[in-house]
Amino acid sequence: MIDDTPRGRLRLDQVTKAFRSHGAEPVVAVDSVTLDVAPGEFITLLGPSGCGKTTTLRIVAGLEEASSGHVRLDDAVIDELPPQRRPMAMVFQSYALFPHLSVGENIAYGLRVQHRTRDELDSAVRIALTSMNLVGLADRSPHELSGGQQQRVALARALVVQPEVLLFDEPLSNLDAKLRGAMRAEIRRIQRRLGITSLYVTHDQDEAMTMSDRIVVMNRGRIEQAATPSDIYFRPATVFVADFIGRANFVEVVPERTGPDGAVVTALARTMTVPAHPGVQANTAAYLMVRPETLSLAAAAEGGAGSVLRATFHGHSVDYEVETTSGTLTVTVPGPDPQCLLAEGTNVTVTADPAKAYVLTKS
């Protein structure tokens, strides 16, 4: 009987990593991380420096040993497997190409380790060169390639061994902004076409938002939230996530009541029902989170709800800092009319869209 169960389900069960040094308290880099990655899913680990994302990736790859917990692949515990025996491939920030080998030899390296035949090597390398837009470059040395081409070689070398899991350690951070955007799309296109389970580490929020099926936001070794990019942005689980992803305004509120439709709060001179985190309680201090681009701004007569403190023109948008009775808010106006820019000191009204706001607990 043929087993057609999808391969590449990756699970982390209470994985912890503590680094110990003589005479000092252990430093917990990864703290009880539990994560279930479905076959073919693209997961991004995102967070500030030192949050544990890279250490988590290295534990999955077998380059670090967990202090406790387990890593499972397709229900098999792989904690004791060395890196070379795990059906995974890794794309590094530094590309990690062998300078003394040609492009073709770099791509074929993993297959040689697997003792593939010459015909298999030639066929696989030829297909990889074509799919990566590297045709005609097989005999070149890595130093003769551009950064984008080197990254394509590194990706081809990882894919050619047909791994069950593909690991990325900030692979695009050395590229310029335009090339980075093109490579994001290329990596995502190939990953979707091949259906390879992927775990991607980055500190770049745009990469995480545009590439991921789910984003795992980490902080101090723990997972703060694992959700779709849309939920991470509009329905953050914590104040940390809301503040770390994009930009956010936080207005202190005390919900009058809560229910299935959200929390009833009074802010910005109006009472409204706003979607709320399940932990929000009535008559308990909370935060109303509103993204700058979801606020509306209009000039008002004397006595408006706020006053423009500063206007920053970006061309495609204008950021206004507005002083209100709810504190200083940032309002982003897209596609501004140059004839209608608001001067500093202008009295304004600020309006929030309840459907695009969110109420969070303070803790």
d(CA 333, CA 311): 10
- The CA-CA-CA angle for residues 207, 212, 151, to 5°, reads 50
Asked whether residue 153 carries a pLDDT value surpassing 70, the answer given is: yes
pLDDT band with cut points at 50, 70 and 90 for residue 3: low
**262, β-bridge pairs:** 259
Q: How far apart are CA 165 and CA 199, in angstroms?
A: 8
The span from the CA of 319 to the CA of 306, in Å, is 15
Query: pLDDT exceeding 70 applies to what percent of the chain?
Result: 98
Is pLDDT at 262 greater than 70 in this prediction?
A: yes
The pLDDT confidence band at residue 2, using thresholds 50, 70 and 90, is: very low
- Residue 109, H or E segment: helix 103-113
**CA 41, CA 10: separation in Å to the nearest integer?**
10
pLDDT tens string 52-77: 999 999 999 999 999 999 999 998 99
**247-261 residue pLDDT tens:** 999 999 999 999 999
CA pair distance 104, 122, nearest whole angstrom: 9
Structure tokens at 138: 């097989």
Average pLDDT, the chain: 91
Residue 81 above 70 pLDDT? Answer: yes
Looking at residue 119, its amino acid is D
Please, what are the domains in the chain?
A: 10-234 (3.40.50.300), 249-361 (2.40.50.140)
Is residue 91 a contact partner of residue 97, using CB atoms and an 8 Å limit? no
Q: Are 83 and 89 in contact (CB under 8 A)?
A: no
DSSP state of 332: E
